[in-house]
Amino acid sequence: MLSRISTYLYKTPKLVLALLLVPPMLYMGVVYLGSLFALLINSFYSIDDFSGIIVREFTLKTYAQIFYPANLEIFMRTAGMAAAVTVVDALFAFPLAYYIAKFAAPRLKTWLIIAVTIPLWSSYLVRVYAWKLILAKEGILSWFINLFGLGGVLDWLLSIPEIGGSSLSLSPIGMFIAFSYIWLPYMIIPIQTALERVPASLIEASGDLGAKPFQTFRSVILPLAFPGVVAGSIFTFSLTLGDFIVPLSLGNSKYFIGQAVYSYQGTAGNVPLAAAMTMGPVVIMIVYLLIARKLGAFDAL
């Protein structure tokens, strides 16, 4: 019996393909894409201002609300944060990526890659939590800052209205530090991958032609690593845009996109506006991905 089924399957590869494909496609196509579609539909609904009930009629009213100054400000603030985090991560990721790709011996290299990849996959929430401890007013970072007599500098930084706050653990500066920390591995790996592909002969040729090590670095290595930086920035940018855990735990009363979506959807019960605001990061990411593809970033993924 089993062998007859087996023979039948062998003779009908199309049926086998269908049997293999139907379950995952049913799940991802229907459940996941269906949900995204439901979200899209909801962004075209609106909420009745008086009753707070969702009006299920097509309207662009909700999208218009995104352009209210308060909401635009949220978008600008979040995009600014995402850009700052991306730049700092690129700077901090480079030395380690460069070392792994070009200098580390094979065994050490394997270990270093594992060491970078572990925090990329694990303990996201716990790693945010760590900064709650470190940045606390009475915490370890303040202690070090005061040890070096820099308490005044910290107070001055915290007094700047747009980025400051009552303490590091309740301010945009603190959020910026935490974001840069948690997304750093996402920048290291693509840069390392891109650098890995720079042929050693090219670097030797540059040296043979009389370039000093720094010149080689600047004119040969850096341009070839750039697609890796762009690939990494896809993650740092996208992840910062949609995050609400960091703003909720380390931020102050100034909203970020993820946080706004979270509260519109939750306490405010305004699902259409939450849905419309989510489309913001989606559109930004699609545009970003298209630009990144032009810059050759996908080869470095």
* Residue 296: strand, helix, or coil: coil
Is 184 one of the binding residues for other proteins (CB under 8 A)?
A: yes
Rounded CA gap, 221 and 202, in Å?
9
Token duo for residue 267: 């306490």
Q: How far is the CB of 13 from other proteins (least distance, A)?
A: 7
- Quick one: which H or E segment has residue 47? strand 46-47
Q: Which residue number, 127 or 294, has a Cβ lying nearer to other proteins?
A: 127
Is 166 one of the binding residues for other proteins (CB under 8 A)?
A: no
Q: How far is the CB of 142 from other proteins (least distance, A)?
A: 8
Q: How far is the CB of 156 from other proteins (least distance, A)?
A: 22
Distances (CA, A) of 21 to 15, 30, 31, 55: 10, 13, 15, 38
Q: How many residues does the chain have?
A: 301
Is 206 one of the binding residues for other proteins (CB under 8 A)?
A: no
Query: Of the listed pieces 57-65, 151-159, 219-227, 239-247, which binds other proteins according to CB under 8 A?
Result: 239-247
286: nearest Cα among 227, 223, 241: 241
Q: How far is the CB of 242 from other proteins (least distance, A)?
A: 2
172: nearest Cα among 246, 233, 278: 246
Residue with tokens 């100054």: 69
Is 296 one of the binding residues for other proteins (CB under 8 A)?
A: no
How do beta strands 54-55 and 46-47 pair?
antiparallel
Residues 99-128: x where in contact with other proteins by CB under 8 A, - otherwise, as a string: xx-xx-xx---x-xxxxxxxxxxxxxxxxx
Q: How far is the CB of 36 from other proteins (least distance, A)?
A: 5
Is 301 one of the binding residues for other proteins (CB under 8 A)?
A: yes
Residue with tokens 């209205």: 161
Among 172, 174, 185, 228, binds other proteins (CB under 8 A): 185
Residue with tokens 């399957």: 9
Is 189 one of the binding residues for other proteins (CB under 8 A)?
A: yes
User: Which 41-70 residues touch other proteins, going by CB under 8 A?
Assistant: 42
Q: Which residue number, 15 or 72, has a Cβ lying nearer to other proteins?
A: 15
